[in-house]
C-alpha cells in the first residue's frame, strides 16, 4: 500500500494531522491534509475489495444525507460508505422535504441539528450553501457538492485514482475538459491537483470558461487537441443537456466535433494516459464509448474509490466525537 | 425668533471653511461667519465642532427615518421601486408628504409604467404630485427606443433621469463581477463592462436628446472614462457612487458574505482605484448611501439567493470622511458630493450654508472614533459590509428647516 510523502515528519500523530471540523471544500486544506485523507482512503480500498471482517466503527452514529439537488451516484456512494462503517444512514431528498413548502435553508439546518445527527452530508444547488449550514450545526458537515463551488470528495477520489494508477500526482499533466464554468468538480479538482503539484490544464469553449481561471494556477486552453499534447490524465466533465442547445454551445454535434474525446484525439496524449469522467457520461458527446470502455479508462475505478474516500472522510470527521485516542 | 449656532467650524461647498456663527430665522439661514449675535437670539454653542449642510441622500431604497436621522441625512431621493411602484400621483404624493417635517422625501418617479421599461409613465402628473426626478429604479431599460423617448420627454420637463447602469443581457442571473473571487467561489458573474456598455448607450441618447442624465452608481474605470469624455463634450451627465464601491473590492465577497452582495456588485481593486481617482478629479458628483436595509430573511441565505443591498445611511458620513483624511477631496468639496450636488440633481436649491438657503444643518465631530456595529444600528436592518470597521466622525445634532430633529 502506498503512503504519502507529503506529511511533514514533525507533525505529531492524532487529531493535529487533520484539524478541520467540516469538509466544506478543498480550499483551505494543506497538501499534507489532502494526502492524509488519501492515505486513509487507501486502507478502505483494500478492505472493500477483500470483504474483510466488518469494521463498524460508526455504529450507533446517525448520518443524514441531506440532498437538496437530485443525485443518484453520490448519494448512493455516501449511503454505502456510511453503512459499511455501521452508521445509521438516513436520506433526505429535497423533493420530499419541507424545503418545497418554503422553509429556509437555515431552518432546515436547525431542524436536522435538533435531530442530533452525528454527521451531515449535504448537496445543494447554491454555491456557499454548505458552508452556511456548517456554521449553524453542532456536528461535522460534509460537502457533497454546492452549486458551482466545490465537490471535495469527488476531487479526493479523482486524486486517489490518479495516485494509484500513475504512482504519483506531482508532475502529472492533467487536462480537465468540458463545462468548467458551471463545474464544482473542476474547481475542487483544480484546487486539489495544484496543491499536490500536478500541472493542470483546463479546456473549454470560452463560453464555458470562467473569467480569471488562470489565477487558480492552471493553464486555460480552447483548443482540445493542443491541450491534450503529452497529457498524463484526461478528465472529461459532463455537459448538461440544457447547455448544449444554443445557450452556451451551438449543438451536441458541434461540441463533439471540438471537444469530444475520441480514440484519435486520445492519441495526442501520452501513450499510457489515463481517462477519467465523474459521471454520468454522455456517451457519444463528450466521450466516445470506445474511449470510455478502453483499458486506459479509470471511470469505474473512480466510482470504487468514491466509496473508499467517503468512508475515510466519515471516519476522520467523526473521530473527535467518537473519542478516538489523540483526536478527542 | 433667531436661533444662533455659535463657535462652529462652518463647512460650505460654496463658501469653504470658516470659523464663526450661523444665524437662523424662520427656518432659513440669515447670516454666517463672524456675525454679531442679537441679544434676543436663542444660542447653541457648537464648541468648535463642524457645522455643515445636512446630507441629501440621492436614491434610497427604503424610508428608514431613524437611520437617516442617525446619519445626518435631512432629505432623501426615494427610488421608484417601492411597493406599489412610484408611477401614480397618489402614491408619489403620499411618499412626498409622510416624512415631513423631520425628513423631506423627494420621490424619484418611475420613468416607465410599473418600471416595466415599455410605456412612458405620467411624468408631469407625478411631478405635480411632488416627484423631483424620474428614474429606472434598480433596473435597466433594455429597449433603446424606449430609453430615447424617456430622455426626450424628461428633457421637455427639465428633470433628471436617474438610471441604474448595467446591461441586463450581460448581468442576467449574475450576482458578482467576473474575476478571481467569483471564479473561486463559483458564483454566477457578469463582466465589469456590463456597466460601461449601458453607460455608453445612455450617454449617446442623453447627448442626442439634450436630457439631464444622472447615473446613480458608477463603479468601473471604463465607465469613468466615458463620463469624463462626455462631460468634456458638454453632455448634461452627473454620476454617483457609494462608500462601499470606494472602500471595498470584490474580495469582500469571499466566504460568501451576503452583506457584501450589492447591485452593482463590488468590483476589482483596479476599478476601486479608478473610482477613488474619479472622486478626486471631479468626475464623480454624488456620494450616496444606497440605503437598502434587508433583514435576515433576505440575507441569511446562500449568496446567490440573497437580496442585493446594504444598510448604508448611518455609515455614509464617517466612510465619506475617510476620503478627506486620505486627501482625496477637501472637506468643503465632500459636502458638494453629499449635499449640494445631489440637491441640484433633484432641482433643489439647498445643500449649502449660504444666506437665504433652508437651514438644513448637520453638526458633527469629525474626529470622534467609533466602531461600525451592525447590531447597534438605528436602521431597520443591520446589513452592512463594514461591520467591525473602526471609523471617525460622529453626527451630534441635526436641524431640518431650523428645527432640531
A128 closest CB neighbour out of B178, B185, B191 = B185
pLDDT > 60? residue B245: yes
Domain span at residue B88?
54-352+369-391
Residue B1: inside a domain:
no
Best to test chain B binding among A103, A104, A126, A206 (most B CBs inside 10 Å): A126
Using the beta-carbon criterion (under 8 Å), do A149 and B183 form an inter-chain contact? Answer: no
Q: What total of structural domains would you count in chain B? A: 1
Domain containing residue B120: CATH number? 3.20.20.140
| pLDDT for the residue numbered A70 | 85
Q: Which of B179, B180, B303 sits opposite A127 (nearest CB)?
A: B303
Residues of chain A with pLDDT > 70, as a percent, come to 93
Residue identified by cell 449642510 is: B53
Query: Among partner residues B183, B297, B304, which is closest to A126 by beta-carbon distance?
Result: B304
Query: For residue A1, what pLDDT band results from cuts at 50, 70 and 90?
Result: very low
Residue B256 domain-assigned (yes or no):
yes
Residue of chain A whose alpha carbon sits nearest to that of B306: A126
Please, are residues A233 and A173 in contact by the beta-carbon 8 Å criterion?
yes
Q: Is residue B10 part of a domain?
A: no
Res A242 pLDDT > 90:
no
Whether the ω angle into residue B347 lies within 30 degrees of 0, i.e. cis, is: no
Interatomic CA distance for residues A289 and B151, integer angstroms? 59
Q: Do A211 and B189 touch (CB under 8 A)?
A: yes
Percent of chain B residues past pLDDT 90, beyond the cut? 100
State the average pLDDT over residues A164-184.
Answer: 97
User: How does A304-318 read in b/e, with b if 16+ C-beta sit within 10 Å?
Assistant: bbbbbbbbbbbbbbb
Tell me if B301 and A132 make a contact (CB, 8 A cut-off): yes
pLDDT at residue A197 is higher than 50: yes
Structure-model confidence comparison of residues A65 and A8, the more confident one: A65
B397 falls within a domain: no
Best B169, B171, B176, B184 residue to mutate vs chain A (most A CBs within 10 Å):
B184
Window from A87-96, A283-292, A298-307 with minimum mean pLDDT: A87-96
Examine residue B13 and state whether it is found in any structural domain, yes or no: no
The verdict on a CB contact (< 8 Å) between A127 and B183 is no
What residues of chain A lie within 8 A of the CB of B300, using their CB? 104, 106, 132
| Chain A nearest CA to B381, separation (Å) | 18
What one-character DSSP code corresponds to residue B314? G
Give SS3 for B206: helix
CA distance A47 to chain B (A): 36
Going by the DSSP 8-state scheme, the letter that residue B336 receives in this structure is I
Looking at the complex, report in whole angstroms how far the Cα of residue B175 sits from the nearest Cα belonging to chain A: 11
Beta strand pairing status for B16-25 and B28-33?
antiparallel
Q: Do B178 and A212 touch (CB under 8 A)?
A: yes
CATH number of the domain located at residue range(s) A18-149+302-319 in this protein = 3.40.50.1370
List CB contacts (< 8 A) between B307 and chain A. Answer: none
Please write the tens of the pLDDT for every residue from B32-71: 999 999 999 999 999 999 999 999 999 999 999 999 999 9
In a domain, B34, yes or no: no
Ramachandran angles phi, psi of A45, nearest 5°: -60, -50
Residues of chain A with CATH 3.40.50.1370: 18-149+302-319, 150-297
Find out whether A296 is annotated in a ligand binding site.
no
A184 interfaces chain B, CB cutoff of 8 Å: yes
Residue B253 near residue B303, CB atoms below 8 Å:
yes
Residues of chain B neighbouring A146 (CB-CB closer than 8 A): 186, 302
At B15 the pLDDT is 94
- Please indicate whether, in this complex, the C-beta atoms of B179 and A211 are within 8 angstroms of each other: yes
> How far does the CA of residue B353 sit from the closest CA of chain A (Å)?
49
Span B62-82, average pLDDT: 98
Residue B292: inside a domain, yes or no? yes
- pLDDT band at A264; cut points 50, 70, 90: very high
Residue A94 touches chain B, beta carbons under 8 Å: no
B161: pLDDT confidence band, cut at 50, 70 and 90? Answer: very high
Residue A11 confidence (pLDDT): 56
Residue whose cell numbers read 443591498: B309
CATH 3.30.200.190 assigned to A150-297: no
**Among partner residues A105, A211, A216, which is closest to B302 by beta-carbon distance?**
A105
pTM for the complete prediction? Answer: 0.93
Amino acid at each position: 500500500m502506498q503512503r504519502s510523502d507529503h506529511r511533514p515528519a514533525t507533525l505529531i500523530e492524532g487529531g493535529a494531522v487533520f484539524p478541520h471540523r467540516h469538509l466544506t471544500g478543498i480550499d483551505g486544506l494543506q497538501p499534507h491534509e489532502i494526502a492524509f485523507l488519501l492515505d486513509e482512503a487507501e486502507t478502505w480500498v483494500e478492505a472493500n475489495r477483500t470483504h474483510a471482517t466488518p469494521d463498524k466503527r460508526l455504529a450507533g452514529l446517525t448520518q443524514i444525507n441531506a440532498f437538496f439537488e437530485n443525485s443518484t451516484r453520490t448519494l448512493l456512494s455516501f449511503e454505502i460508505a456510511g453503512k459499511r462503517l455501521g452508521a445509521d444512514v438516513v436520506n433526505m431528498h429535497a423533493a420530499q422535504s419541507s424545503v418545497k413548502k418554503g422553509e429556509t435553508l437555515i431552518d432546515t439546518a436547525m431542524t436536522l441539528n435538533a435531530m442530533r445527527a452525528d454527521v451531515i452530508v449535504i448537496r445543494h444547488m447554491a454555491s456557499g450553501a454548505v458552508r452556511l449550514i456548517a456554521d449553524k450545526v453542532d456536528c461535522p458537515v460534509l460537502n457533497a457538492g454546492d452549486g458551482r463551488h466545490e465537490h471535495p470528495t469527488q476531487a479526493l477520489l479523482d486524486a486517489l485514482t490518479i495516485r494509484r494508477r500513475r504512482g504519483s500526482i506531482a508532475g502529472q499533466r492533467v487536462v480537465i475538459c468540458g463545462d468548467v464554468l458551471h463545474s464544482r468538480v473542476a474547481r475542487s479538482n483544480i484546487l486539489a491537483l495544484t496543491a499536490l503539484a500536478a500541472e493542470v490544464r483546463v479546456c473549454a469553449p470560452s463560453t464555458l470558461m470562467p473569467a480569471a481561471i488562470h489565477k487558480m494556477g492552471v493553464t486555460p486552453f480552447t483548443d482540445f487537441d493542443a491541450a491534450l499534447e503529452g497529457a498524463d490524465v484526461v478528465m472529461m466533465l459532463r455537459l448538461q443537456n440544457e447547455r448544449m442547445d444554443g445557450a452556451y454551445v451551438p449543438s451536441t454535434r458541434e461540441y463533439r466535433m471540438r471537444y469530444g474525446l475520441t480514440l484519435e484525439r486520445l492519441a495526442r496524449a501520452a501513450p499510457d494516459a489515463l481517462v477519467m469522467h465523474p459521471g454520468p457520461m454522455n456517451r457519444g458527446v463528450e466521450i466516445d464509448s470506445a474511449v470510455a470502455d478502453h483499458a486506459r479508462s479509470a471511470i469505474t475505478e473512480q466510482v470504487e474509490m468514491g466509496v473508499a474516500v467517503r468512508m475515510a472522510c466519515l471516519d476522520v470527521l467523526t473521530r473527535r466525537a467518537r473519542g478516538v485516542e489523540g483526536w478527542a | 425668533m433667531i436661533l444662533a449656532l455659535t463657535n462652529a467650524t462652518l463647512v460650505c461647498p460654496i463658501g469653504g471653511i470658516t470659523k464663526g456663527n450661523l444665524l437662523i430665522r424662520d427656518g432659513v439661514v440669515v447670516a454666517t461667519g463672524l456675525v454679531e449675535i442679537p441679544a434676543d437670539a436663542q444660542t447653541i454653542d457648537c464648541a468648535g465642532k463642524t457645522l455643515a449642510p445636512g446630507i441629501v441622500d440621492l436614491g434610497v431604497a427604503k424610508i428608514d427615518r431613524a437611520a437617516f436621522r442617525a446619519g445626518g441625512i435631512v432629505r432623501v431621493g426615494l427610488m421608484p421601486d417601492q411597493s406599489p411602484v412610484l408611477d401614480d400621483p397618489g402614491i408619489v404624493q403620499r411618499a412626498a408628504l409622510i416624512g415631513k417635517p423631520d425628513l423631506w422625501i423627494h420621490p424619484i418617479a418611475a420613468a416607465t409604467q410599473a418600471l416595466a421599461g415599455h410605456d412612458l409613465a405620467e411624468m408631469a402628473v407625478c411631478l405635480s404630485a411632488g416627484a423631483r426626478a424620474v428614474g429606472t429604479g434598480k433596473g435597466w431599460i433594455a429597449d433603446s427606443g424606449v430609453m430615447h423617448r424617456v430622455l426626450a420627454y424628461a428633457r421637455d420637463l427639465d428633470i433628471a433621469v436617474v438610471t441604474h447602469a448595467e446591461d441586463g443581457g450581460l448581468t442576467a442571473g449574475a450576482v458578482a463581477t467576473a474575476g478571481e473571487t467569483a471564479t473561486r467561489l463559483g458564483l454566477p458573474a457578469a463582466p465589469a463592462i456590463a456597466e460601461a456598455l449601458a453607460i455608453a448607450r445612455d450617454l449617446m441618447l442623453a447627448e442626442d436628446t439634450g436630457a439631464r442624465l444622472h447615473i446613480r452608481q458608477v463603479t468601473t474605470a471604463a465607465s469613468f472614462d466615458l463620463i469624463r469624455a462626455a462631460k468634456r463634450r458638454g453632455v448634461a451627465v452627473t454620476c454617483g457612487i457609494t462608500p462601499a464601491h470606494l472602500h471595498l473590492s470584490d474580495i469582500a465577497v469571499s466566504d460568501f458574505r451576503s452583506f457584501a452582495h450589492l447591485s452593482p456588485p463590488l468590483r476589482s481593486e483596479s476599478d476601486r482605484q479608478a473610482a477613488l481617482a474619479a472622486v478626486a478629479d471631479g468626475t464623480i458628483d454624488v456620494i450616496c448611501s444606497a440605503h437598502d436595509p434587508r433583514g435576515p430573511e433576505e440575507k441569511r441565505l446562500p449568496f446567490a439567493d440573497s437580496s442585493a443591498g446594504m444598510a448604508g445611511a448611518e455609515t455614509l458620513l464617517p466612510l465619506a470622511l475617510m476620503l478627506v483624511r486620505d486627501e482625496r477631496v477637501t472637506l468643503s468639496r465632500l459636502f458638494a458630493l453629499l449635499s449640494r450636488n445631489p440637491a441640484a440633481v433633484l432641482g433643489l436649491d439647498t445643500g449649502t450654508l449660504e444666506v437665504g438657503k433652508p437651514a438644513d444643518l448637520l453638526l458633527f465631530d469629525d474626529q470622534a472614533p467609533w466602531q461600525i456595529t451592525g447590531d447597534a444600528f438605528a436602521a431597520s436592518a443591520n446589513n452592512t459590509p463594514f461591520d467591525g470597521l473602526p471609523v471617525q466622525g460622529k453626527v451630534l445634532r441635526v436641524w431640518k428647516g431650523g428645527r432640531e430633529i
